[in-house]
């Protein structure tokens, strides 16, 4: 227990004391794995992709029943149709991505050398559209989320592989995402880490808090509360509102950097999107 407290202080303290110095992302990942290994010793590393169901046996059984008839199936089918339909200029999504867009979700978000910014899969989907003369789609839900869900589906079981290249702009984006993850915000004064690191496994009202490790593997996600598929950043906005903090714009630089750090954390874990959650 003392070890845990110590590590929390290291995790937070490192930021407080020396926010400007660059910690190696690889050691960040090792540290977070050790932390969760101590905190949730019964959870196997591969099982973190199942979020709260890796912790709560009862909820897991209900969830496994639900997964027999996956609620995201319609969305994936719609996504596939959209993905395979040609744009007005005759091109399609396949023309914009490596490997024709199949089985590539594990490499996102990516650092883009040209703009010096982080490109999430959703941003890349819209970039593809505008490059080919189509209107950008709304982020968060709807057609864009379906296309993204289909692309995630084709990437199942691939291992998350987000890279931080040796470029100061990529490292700065990673650091900014990390800072956002650990910074207390909003009237409730909570960081992502307050709930999803330091209190993972604890009960907030009726919810058991999921660990941040593995969080991004199953997005976009079908949520019963949404009755639809939604993107990871839609969830960010929801969690920000929950602590009475003003959410950022979806696909803003802030959220893209956060997604970069947050996804890098789960490197080596399997993509299992789209998932279903309550």
Partner 1 sequence: MKKLIQLISVVFLFPIALPYALAGDQIAEGKEIAFDRKKGNCLACHVIDDGELPGKMGPPLSQMQKMYPDKSKLRDQIWDATTKNPLTAMPPFGRHRMLTEQEIDKVVDYIYSL
225 scored as a contact of partner 1 (CB under 8 A): no
Piece of the chain touching ligand HEC by CB under 6 A; list 15-23, 139-147, 170-178, 192-200: 192-200
Work out which of 31, 59, 239, 253 binds ligand HEC, going by CB under 6 A: 239
- Helix (H, G, I), strand (E, B), or coil: what is residue 89? coil
- Take residue 151 and report the two structure tokens written for it: 């692309």
Contact positions with partner 1 (CB under 8 A) in 130-189:
187-189
What is the C-alpha to C-alpha distance for residues 128 and 134, in angstroms, rounded to an integer? 8
9 scored as a contact of partner 1 (CB under 8 A): yes
Compute and round to an integer the Cα radius of gyration of the chain: 18
198 binds, among ligand HEC, partner 1, none (CB under 5 to 8 A by kind): partner 1
Beta strands at 207-208 and 221-223: parallel, antiparallel or unpaired: unpaired
- 239 annotated active-site: yes
8 scored as a contact of ligand HEC (CB under 6 A): no
The backbone torsions φ and ψ at residue 275, rounded to the nearest 5 degrees and listed phi first, read -105, 180
198 scored as a contact of ligand HEC (CB under 6 A): no
Beta strands at 275-277 and 221-223: parallel, antiparallel or unpaired: parallel
206 scored as a contact of partner 1 (CB under 8 A): yes
263 binds, among ligand HEC, partner 1, none (CB under 5 to 8 A by kind): none
Q: How many CA atoms lie within 13 A of 205 on its CB side?
A: 1
Residue 133: partners with Cβ closer than 8 Å, 6 or more residues away: 87, 88, 89
**In the beta sheet, which residues pair with residue 275?**
221
- Least separation in angstroms between residue 13's CB and partner 1 is 9
Q: Which residues bind ligand HEC (CB under 6 A)?
A: 51-52, 190, 192, 194-196, 204, 207, 209-210, 215, 221, 235-236, 239-240, 242-243, 262, 277
Supply the residues annotated as catalytic. 239
């Amino acid at each position: 227990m003392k070890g845990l407290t110590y590590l929390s202080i290291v995790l937070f303290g490192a930021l407080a004391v020396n926010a400007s110095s660059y910690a190696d992302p690889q050691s960040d990942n090792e540290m977070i794995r050790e932390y969760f290994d101590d905190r949730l010793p019964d959870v196997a590393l591969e099982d973190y992709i199942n979020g709260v169901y890796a912790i709560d046996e009862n909820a897991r059984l209900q969830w496994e029943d639900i997964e027999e008839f996956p609620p995201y199936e319609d969305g994936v089918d719609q996504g596939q149709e959209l993905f395979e339909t040609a744009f007005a200029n005759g091109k399609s999504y396949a023309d914009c991505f490596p490997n024709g867009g199949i089985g590539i979700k594990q490499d996102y978000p990516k650092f883009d050398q040209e703009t010096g910014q982080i490109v999430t899969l959703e941003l890349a989907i819209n970039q593809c559209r505008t490059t080919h003369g189509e209107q950008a789609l709304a982020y968060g839900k709807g057609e864009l989320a379906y296309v993204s869900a289909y692309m995630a589906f084709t990437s199942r079981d691939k291992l998350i592989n987000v890279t931080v290249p040796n470029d100061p702009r990529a490292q700065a984006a990673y650091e900014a995402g990390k800072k956002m993850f650990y910074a207390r915000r909003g009237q409730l004064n909570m960081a992502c880490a307050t709930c999803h690191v330091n209190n993972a496994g604890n009960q907030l009202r009726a919810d058991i808090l999921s660990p941040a490790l593995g969080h991004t593997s199953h997005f976009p996600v079908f949520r019963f509360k949404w009755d639809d598929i939604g993107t990871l950043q839609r969830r960010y906005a929801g969690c920000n509102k929950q602590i009475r903090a003003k959410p950022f714009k979806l696909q803003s630089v802030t959220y893209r950097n956060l997604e970069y750090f947050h996804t890098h954390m789960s490197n080596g874990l399997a993509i299992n999107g789209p998932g279903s959650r309550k």
